[in-house]
Structure 1
Amino acid sequence: MSTQYREADATASERPIGQTMQAIVYDDYGEADVLHRAELPIPRRLPGQLLLSVAASSVNPIDYRLRRGEMKGLLPFGFPRIPGYDISGTVADCAPDAPFKPGDRVIAYLDYIRGGACADFAVCSVGVAARIPDTLPTEEAAAIPLAGTTALQSLRDHGKIRAGQRVLINGASGGVGMFAVQVAKSYDCHVTAIASAANEDFCRELGADVFYDYNKVDFTKAGERWDLIFDAAGKSGYLAARAVLTDSGRFVSTEPDVQGIMMSLLTTPLSKRGKVMLAKPCGDDLRALIGLYELGKLKITLDSQFPMSETAAAHRRIEQGVDRGKVVLINS
């Protein structure tokens, strides 16, 4: 492990547990400049939970969408809010009979609906965390939880992926897409990647067998058929994709809008099904992804890294559109 990674973990594990902590918060909906530092009470660990010392986190599109207020009808009130769902760090406190011990290096996909990762400390259920090996750098580990879980559950649980299938990943170079290509290849599937021309080499390095530049090729008119189409970019739709699905093919999207929910309901009895998915925190799924990493079947690419004090800048980076990999926050 490099000195940089050791220092990040040392900072997290040696952070004293007092009464208060530093956190990035927002007190109302708005643009990225509503994010600011604040001193808050350290969250209380309840039975069945871990208290984690946060070494790093990462930014996902859901973070800025929540900050903008796009889901305020579902999550009203409750300010100040701490953004973020991804944590890489160490266990600061846990019950004596927990399957972890203080000092363990872990990742977690927070199961608190409002987030909470962009802080010195956070709590989560024991069942949504997983130990990470010394070979997995803290920064790369922070990129895994939400995006990796989304890719795995989309393909395995909703797409019912099977060995030898033809799989298409739309948005293959992004945070979720890069995981999806590699997960599909771990199932020995034939993978078609859709992204911009500048990312062809990257997608092929991930394992894609075929690449289409979305500016030049409309995959729905490419004259091919796929057993599973995963729209990791949220820019396609079931009706367009249906024509290029095999007779029992499945379409999975990560765009949870009204149209997508209706699509999920209306296509349930059909042979060609569509599904809008929302990832669920699950420690077993994190362990599966870590297992792929240890087998050399999962490479994690970082677009950029920001100090956690510059979370606003990291949000702006995501909002501009990241072509390749994940944006990570380092808590120093």
Structure 2
Amino acid sequence: MRSSPLSTDTNSSNEITDNAATDKKNLNKGSMRAVVFDDYGTPDVLRLTDRPIPQRSANEILIKVHASSVNPIDYRLRSGEMKGILPGGFPRIPGYDVAGEIIESPTKSTFDPGDRVIAFLDNKYGGALAEYAVCEPEVVARIPAGLPFEQAAAIPLAGTTALQSLRNHGNMQTGDHVLINGASGGVGAFAVQIAKAYDCHVDAVASGDNEEFCKSLGADHFYNYEDVNFEDSAERWDVVFDAAGKSGYWNSRTVLNKGGRYVSTEPDVKGMIMTVVTWPLSKSGTVMLAKPNADDLRTLIDLYEQGKLKITIDSTFPLSKAADAHRYVEQGVERGKVIVSHQE
């Protein structure tokens, strides 16, 4: 699999211009390769086919997608697990993470054709597993020249989820004691590093073979969930972030400090009820859904450029093997993110 980072020399500028011209010609054809599904089901419902290139409005950006990624929310939507929350919308192109180059942008936009960017797509149905994607400028951020597209594609949804869970919903403050459950996964690995960037004490929960990995991310202490249940610990935390969806508020609240916050990423009816019921309590619980936001993407990129955010890629699949990528993520990813490269 080849990645597609662009260099910053003169030849690179010509290459961007040439690529943009080629893409213009492709746009005239009106079609693109995309992964779609026409009904809920197993990964077998995903198929690679020709679809119309999305038509951007005057306020939207058109991006040539070089890489995307697969998140647990993608297979949950594909399987129909969340059809009560987000029904219909077929045929769908799954995925919300995009890394690529801008082809067209609004007249008054700060973006130009050829800009290397990431985006957390603001279309509720996704659209990332395709050659082109459209979105509002408010969910797009530039990436540095040295960041390969395949690594950049790991950031948007997982990084935003980790940042908003800890900062916005967990109200994380400098010096807090923070526990990350599922610390080796895509969201959890970002969460450990973000909490350390806030100078928090971080305890990580994962399987035993991920202890060294979690500590390499900055975790101060490690709990092997195969041997120890953190819910039975004598330790107390200001924030418990359940990135794995394996614990629950009513069990975790016993290990929260007074005024502590429990945050989960499991958007179901039971979790929504818990959020409402616990809101007035001294130890609150929240089920969150990440919101696309360019400022948050820029925060994550700044952390990356400062050396405070490492990106871990578990595996990379070509676009034609997107079903295999979904299947792999659905079985459970131990460490980091699963990437889909569009450069075949």
**Is TM > 0.5 for Structure 1 vs Structure 2?**
yes
Matches within 5 A, 1:63-212: 63-212=74-223
Matched, 1:17 2:27: yes
Q: Which moved more, 1:255-264 or 1:79-88?
A: 255-264
Maintained 8 Å contact 1:227/1:245: yes
SS in 1 for 2:111: coil
Whether the aligned pair in 2 keeps the contact of 1:57 and 1:117 (CA below 8 Å) is yes
From 276, 281, 306, give the equivalent of 2:292.
281
Are the aligned partners of 2:3 and 2:149 in contact in 1 as well (CA < 8 Å)?
A: no
The answer for the alignment partner of 2:228 in structure 1 is 217
1:107-127 per-residue CA deviation (whole Å, 9 max, x = no partner) reads: 000000000000010100110
Helix, strand or coil at the partner of 1:291:
helix
Q: Which residue of 2 aligns with 1:253?
A: 264
Q: Which moved more, 1:31-40 or 1:124-133?
A: 31-40
Q: Which amino acid is 1:206 matched to?
A: L
What is the Cα deviation at residue 268 of structure 1? 0.8
- Post-superposition Cα deviations, 1:180-222, rounded to whole Å, max 9, x if no partner, equal 0000000000000000000000000000000010010110111
The TM-score with structure 2 as length reference comes to: 0.93
Residue type matched to 2:287 in 1? Answer: V
Of stretches 134-143 and 13-22 in structure 1, the one that deviates more from structure 2 is 13-22
CA RMSD of aligned residues (A): 1.5
Shift of 1:5: 2.6
Please say if 1:238 is aligned against 2:249. yes
3-state SS of paired residue (2:162): helix
1:210 partner amino acid: H
| Distance apart, 1:7 and its partner CA | 7.2
Q: % of aligned pairs identical?
A: 60
Query: Residue 12 of structure 1 contacts residue 53 of structure 1 at CA under 8 Å; is this kept in 2?
Result: no
Q: Distance in 1 between matches of 2:3 and 2:168?
A: 37
Instruction: Tell me, in whole angstroms, the C-alpha distance in 1 between the residues paired with 2:300 and 2:125.
Output: 24
- Residues 231-268 of structure 1, C-alpha deviation per residue, up to 9 Å, x if partnerless? 00001011111111001100000011112111110111
Tell me, in whole angstroms, the C-alpha distance in 2 between the residues paired with 1:104 and 1:124.
Answer: 15
TM-score, normalising length: structure 1:
0.97
* DSSP 3-state at the match of 2:244: coil
Query: What is the CA deviation profile of residues 125-169 of structure 1, one whole-angstrom value per residue up to 9, with x for unaligned ones?
Result: 110000000121111100000000000000000000000110000
The answer as to whether partners of 1:12 and 1:89 remain within 8 angstroms in 2 is: no
CA distance in 1, matches of 2:337, 2:200: 24
Deviation at 1:12, TM superposition (A): 7.1
Task: Read off the aligned partner of 1:57 and give its amino acid letter.
Answer: S
Superposed CA deviations along residues 294-324 of structure 1, whole A, max 9, x for unmatched, are 0000000000000011100000110110000
CA distance in 2, matches of 1:74, 1:195: 29
1:297 aligns with 2:308: yes
The 8 Å contact of residues 68 and 340 in structure 2, kept in 1 or not, is answered as: yes
Deviates more, 1:65-74 or 1:184-193: 65-74
The answer (yes or no) to whether the contact 1:22–1:39 under 8 Å persists in 2 is yes
Out of 3-12 and 270-279, give the one that drifted further: 3-12
Partner amino acid for 1:17? L
- Structure 1 residue 70 displacement after superposition: 1.1
CA distance in 1, matches of 2:35, 2:147: 26
Distance 1:102 1:254 in 2: 35
Contact 1:308–1:329 under 8 Å retained in 2: yes
Structure 2 unaligned regions, length at least 5: 8-14
**C-alpha separation between the residues in 2 aligned to 1:12 and 1:122?**
16
Paired residues of 1:173 and 1:324 also in contact (CA < 8 A)? yes
Q: Is the 8 A contact 2:6 2:145 kept in 1?
A: no
**d(CA) in 2 for partners of 1:77, 1:262:** 24
Deviation, 1:71, is 1.7
Q: Any gaps of 5 or more consecutive residues in structure 1?
A: none
Given the alignment of the two structures, is residue 270 of structure 1 paired with residue 281 of structure 2, yes or no? yes
Aligned to 2:5: 6
Deviates more, 1:49-58 or 1:15-24: 15-24
- Note the alpha carbon deviations across 1:23-61, whole angstroms, 9 max, x for none: 000111111011111111111111221001000000000
